[in-house]
Amino acid sequence: MEISESLPKEIEANCSAFEASLDSVMKEVEKLTQLSQDEINKLPSLEQAKLDLLSLYTMNSMAWVYNTVNGIDPKQTALKDELQRVQVSMKKVQDIEDKKKRLTVDSKAAKRIVAHEIKEYGTKKKENHFRKK
- Whether the per-residue pLDDT at 132 is higher than 60: the answer is no
Task: Say if residue 65 is exposed, middle or buried (CB neighbours under 10 Å; 0-12, 13-18, 19+).
Answer: middle
Q: What is the pLDDT of residue 95?
A: 93
Q: Where are the domains of the chain?
A: 9-103, 104-133
Which of the four pLDDT bands, split at 50, 70 and 90, describes residue 85?
Answer: very high
d(CA 18, CA 20): 5
* pTM (global) more than 0.85: no
Which residue, among 107, 25, 13, has the nearest Cα to 58 in the 3D structure?
25
pLDDT digits (tens, 9 = 90+) for 12-54: 888 888 889 889 988 988 888 888 889 889 999 999 999 999 9
Which of the four pLDDT bands, split at 50, 70 and 90, describes residue 75?
Answer: very high
d(CA 55, CA 49): 10
- Whether the per-residue pLDDT at 87 is higher than 70: the answer is yes
Q: Are residues 80 and 43 in contact, defined by beta-carbon separation less than 8 angstroms?
A: no
Q: What is the pLDDT of residue 9?
A: 83
- DSSP letter for each residue of the chain: -PPPTTS-HHHHHHHHHHHHHHHHHHHHHHHHHTS-HHHHHHS-HHHHHHHHHHHHHHHHHHHHHHHHHTT--GGGSTHHHHHHHHHHHHHHHHHHHHHHHSPPP-HHHHHHHHHHHHHHHHHHHHHHHHHH-
At residue 121, φ and ψ (nearest 5 deg) are -65, -45
Q: What is the pLDDT of residue 67?
A: 93
Q: What is the pLDDT of residue 32?
A: 81
Q: What is the pLDDT of residue 5?
A: 63
Which is higher by pLDDT, 88 or 18?
88
Which is higher by pLDDT, 123 or 89?
89
